[in-house]
Structure 1
Amino acid sequence: MKLNSQQLCDLAVGAAFLGTGGGGDPYVGRLMVQQCLDEGLEVNIIDPSELADDMLVIPTAMMGAPTVLVEKIPSGEEAMFSLQRLERHLGRKAQATMPIEIGGINSTIPLVVGARLGLPIVDGDGMGRAFPFLEMETFGVYGVSGSPMAVSDEYGDCAIIEAVDNRQMEWLSRAVAIRMGGCAYIAEYAMSGADVKRTAIPNTLSLAIRIGEVLRNAKSSHENPIEALLGFLPSTLYRYGRIIFGGKIIDVMRETKAGFSIGRVTIGGLPPFGSTMEIEIQNENLIARVDGKVKAIVPDLICIMNTETAEPITSENLRYGQRVTVLAVSVPEIMRTPEALDVFGPACFGLKEPFISIERIG
């Protein structure tokens, strides 16, 4: 698929939805990709099945606090430099790139890298949403090493990290990203085409495009876009979603700490919901509670949408007074296995509550 400008706009909306508040503002990433298209460069998205088993795929991304992007906008070249530095370290050229996560700006960073280096972008990712830690990848869950990895900033500085495991890789690279100003650009989880087909969540880029298209078409047809989206999900790997709350944001607490955006948003309920909902945030929305009762919990998606425009709202754009609708969406089964929950289940974020799928939460 050769991406066009309309699909890019739809992708930015769908990626913001799947990012569950995190992954960085997709507006910035959309502008970078649009610049590539305006220069006549091609963004070529390929299905994982098109990969030869022995092809080298190097995913690219931004890491750090999404709030930093508001003041430190990337040029688009940083992640490209990381991929090239990792190629030199490996002594081998990449034959494709892909997202590590489908949320926010990290759905678009690989598109810029692919367009500028003439590489195809694999239609899939390793999170199926956004997560704050680099070890929280289905790639790693199912046996792919994240390192060696390259971490670069906008000045051309680069660190190559070779860690004993993926958690240590995250710990070391987070310190580098903090020194680089709170966010950095990375190439990691270099793997074969066979490993991509075995460990990735497939077709999430095209899914994000379809989500944006469903919302756009519903609005142009004067239909309820959120209901249209909920009607679309059963035909995807995400299968199930529902509205779990609606109201007005009455408080936002947010700080950048240890390389993450940490906070909490409180939503005062409007009829028929009543009461209040609290959502805890670490870059992404982790758990939603009403009067202490869990309504949705990581890794299932908790998506905050503007009630009036049906636009997903990223964590750095939450504001007092916004009228919002909160959706919970099930994740693919590859993300709910015991092995996966050991890496990105609730306990990995310090939450005491166990994982209960939204299908089972009343």
Structure 2
Amino acid sequence: MLINEQMIDDIALGATVLGTGGGGDPYSGALMAKVALKNAIKPVEVIALEEVQDTWMTVPSSMIGAPTVSIEKINSESQMLVAFEAMEVALGETAAATFPIEIGGFNSLIPILVAAQKGIPVVDCDAMGRAFPEAQMVTFYLDGLPSAPNTLADEKGNVVTLHPIDGVWSERFARPITEEMGGSAAMCDYPMLGKNLKQSALGGTLTRAMKIGQAIRLANAKGENAVDAILDIVGGQRLITGKIVDIERTTAGGFVTGGVIIEKLNKAGTESMPTDVYVHFQNELLLAHSGSSAGDLNQDSVLASTPDLISILDHETGQPITTEQLRYGQRIDLIAYPCDPKWRTAKGIEVAGPRYFGYDVEYKTIEELAGEIQ
């Protein structure tokens, strides 16, 4: 499948839904990908995970840092290529393909930039099926694959190569380096042979993002409900249809953290919805519970939690809203839907469940929670 500009727009839109509020600004990512496509060595091809050869060296391409930073600190066109080629130097070999480490608005498009400049394909896969805030929150870490080497690059040309013992140490080293690089950096980690990629990555996630983006675009063109169109693809449910009445947001430590309060709109058919919902985030939306403050959180108030996906969508258009774009007065639908089964394993919940982020509640699937509410 050869990438074109419409596909870039659809991937950006759908990946922002799956990015659960994080993954970077889709608008700037789409613009950069389109420019890269026009200047490409050859047409950029997206290949299925099954097409990857066992002996290929594959390297993911991504950005690390707080999404709020990318609004004012625009990434350079060559920044990702610098990190990617530094990885090839560290490995002593040329990469045969690249892919997104996560599915998020900006990070899903970064591999297109590299593929266009290197003349290599993008693999239709990622290591999260969504976006997560920390480097070890990938299926590769769950499967015990090595993170090293890591390479980071900023827009000035600075490059750092790391050899952490695992993904946790990768996060501990890379985050403060990213801070020194201005809060946002290009990063490559988890280089691996094709045979390992096929065993551990989540296949078909780029095309899933594109399908969601297409559904939003077509629903709006036909005057249909775009949120319903999204839910038809991802499953799950609306948690609340409401208005944002307050938001707390802090950018520090390489993350944007905070919470948003949503007040229910008085509409017919919403009687089963809570009056107010509080949503916690750390780059990505992590946990939603009934109540109008963070202090209302308890086991019985939880509506959805990581690693399941939570997305905030514009009520009229279904357009996903990232955490840095949340504003007072926005009319939204808050939806939640299932994560990949790998994240529902004991190790997956340990790595990316609510307790990891400091929430004193047990993880329950959204299917379980929906049953309790009913």
Q: Same fold (TM over 0.5)?
A: yes
- Which category describes the TM-score, using the shorter chain as reference length? over 0.9
Query: CA shift at 1:274, angstroms?
Result: 5.2
SS of alignment partner, residue 307 of structure 2: coil
SS of alignment partner, residue 366 of structure 2: coil
The counterpart of 1:302, out of the listed 285, 297, 310, is 310
Aligned positions of 1:53-92 closer than 5 A:
53-92=54-93
TM-score by length of 2: 0.93
Cα distance in 2 between the residues matched to 1:346 and 1:158: 34
Cα distance in 2 between the residues matched to 1:274 and 1:327: 13
The counterpart of 1:261, out of the listed 238, 256, 262, is 256
Residue 10 (structure 1) aligned with residue 18 (structure 2): no
The answer as to whether partners of 1:44 and 1:115 remain within 8 angstroms in 2 is no
Runs of 4+ with >6 A deviation: none
Residue 247 (structure 1) aligned with residue 221 (structure 2): no
- The one-letter code sitting in structure 2 at the alignment partner of 1:335 is W
Matched with 1:237 is none
Residue 116 (structure 1) aligned with residue 120 (structure 2): no
The answer as to whether partners of 1:76 and 1:109 remain within 8 angstroms in 2 is no
Matched with 1:219 is 220
Aligned positions of 1:1-362 closer than 5 A:
1-39=1-39, 41-233=42-234, 240-271=235-266, 272=270, 273=273, 275-291=275-291, 292=296, 293-361=301-369, 362=373
SS of alignment partner, residue 264 of structure 1: strand
- The one-letter code sitting in structure 1 at the alignment partner of 2:165 is V
Q: Unpaired runs of 5+ in structure 1?
A: 234-239
Matched with 1:236 is none
Structural RMSD (CA) = 1.1
Query: CA shift at 1:42, angstroms?
Result: 2.1
Cα distance in 2 between the residues matched to 1:162 and 1:231: 43
Q: Deviations over 1:154-180 (max 9, x none)?
A: 011011111122111110011100000
Q: Deviations over 1:289-334 (max 9, x none)?
A: 1134111000101100010121000000000000000000101212
The answer as to whether partners of 2:19 and 2:104 remain within 8 angstroms in 1 is yes
Q: How many pairs are equivalent?
A: 356
Q: Deviations over 1:162-205 (max 9, x none)?
A: 11221111100111000000111011100011111111111100
Q: Unpaired runs of 5+ in structure 2?
A: none
Q: Sequence identity, in percent?
A: 40
Cα distance in 1 between the residues matched to 2:93 and 2:189: 14
Q: Deviations over 1:258-299 (max 9, x none)?
A: 110011101111122452110001000000011341110001
Cα distance in 1 between the residues matched to 2:328 and 2:44: 38
The answer as to whether partners of 1:36 and 1:42 remain within 8 angstroms in 2 is no
- Structure 1 stretch 264-273 or stretch 15-24: which is displaced more? 264-273
Cα distance in 2 between the residues matched to 1:86 and 1:8: 26
- The one-letter code sitting in structure 2 at the alignment partner of 1:155 is K
Cα distance in 2 between the residues matched to 1:49 and 1:179: 39
Query: CA shift at 1:114, angstroms?
Result: 0.8
The answer as to whether partners of 2:227 and 2:317 remain within 8 angstroms in 1 is no
Query: CA shift at 1:5, angstroms?
Result: 1.1
The answer as to whether partners of 2:20 and 2:285 remain within 8 angstroms in 1 is yes
